[in-house]
Amino acid sequence: MSSGAAFFDLDRTLMAGSSAFAFAREAHRSGLMSRREILSGALANLAFRLQGSTDQSTDQLRDQVGQALQGIEVRDILRMGPGILTEVLPRVYPEMLREAWDHQDAGRPVYIVTASSQEMADLVAGALLFDGALGSGWEKADGQYTGRAIEPFTYREGKAVAMRALAARAGYDLEASYAYSDSESDLPMLRAVGNPVAVNPDTALNRVAHEEGWRVMRFERLRRRLFVAGGAVAALALGTGARAALLRRRQPPPAARLRRAVVRR
């Protein structure tokens, strides 16, 4: 067995906020989403974060994302890459980037592990000079997404499954590996390694981390984060909700379904 690796959740761990919102804004600029659809996704995302997740909600998330992608041209998603990076890269936490590069300097490869698409995961991992990424795969046919997920869906237990498969292929020792996340939903990912680290943890993860003696990195206050997120959603609702309700739009059916792709990444 080789030495271990380091695995990093993306949203609210490597970066502030959600990569799904960056995806949504670029999709709006590209004409694939309306302001109303972005607001709907933002509200659903916030509700999901406050309520937590279950196996049932994971299945629902997978199905919703699949329905959103069905019929979308793969090249249209890939072409959003540069715009997405302009949103994501300024949000990357310097503390986490330094942590990842320290692992590389110590001989441990570093990977992003996210429920976002494999294409987005690869895009961000390449920009950050990581060694790779584990994202959600979606079946493609004739240059379009079919809407069928490729197992494992990298959310909750699916993240741990993907990490074990990579470790088996590459010869990584998971007991000597590290994993970083902010959320209770990533407990399977954190428990898959010998060195779990809670990063700006939510209440449930913070409790588990203290009970099990895990390392905790805290450089952003959760309460402030929720106030900022709530204020942003409220401002968006007040500023664009009424106008969006009056807009008459013509969009191809596959593009309209993208509104659900921003929910709960």
Interatomic CA distance for residues 191 and 155, integer angstroms:
14
Six-digit token pair at 114?
A: 């996210």
Burial class (CB in 10 A: 0-12, 13-18, 19+), 47: exposed
Using alpha carbons only, give the angle 182, 84, 153 rounded to the nearest 5 degrees: 50
Interatomic CA distance for residues 135 and 117, integer angstroms:
5
Active site residue 59: no
Active site residue 173: no
Interatomic CA distance for residues 86 and 15, integer angstroms:
13
Q: Longest Cα pair distance anywhere in the chain, in angstroms?
A: 61
What is the four-CA torsion angle of 162, 140, 144, 262, rounded to 10 degrees? -20
Bridge partners, 232 (sequence order): none
Per-residue CA distances from 75 to 148, 198, 213, 255 (Å): 17, 36, 45, 13
153 secondary structure, DSSP code: P
Bridge partners, 113 (sequence order): 9, 134
Of the candidates 9, 76, 186, 202, the residue annotated as catalytic is 9
Under a CB-based contact definition with an 8 Å cutoff, are residues 184 and 205 in contact? yes
Six-digit token pair at 163?
A: 């990490």
Helices H / strands E in the chain, number of each: 12, 7
What residues act catalytically?
9, 11
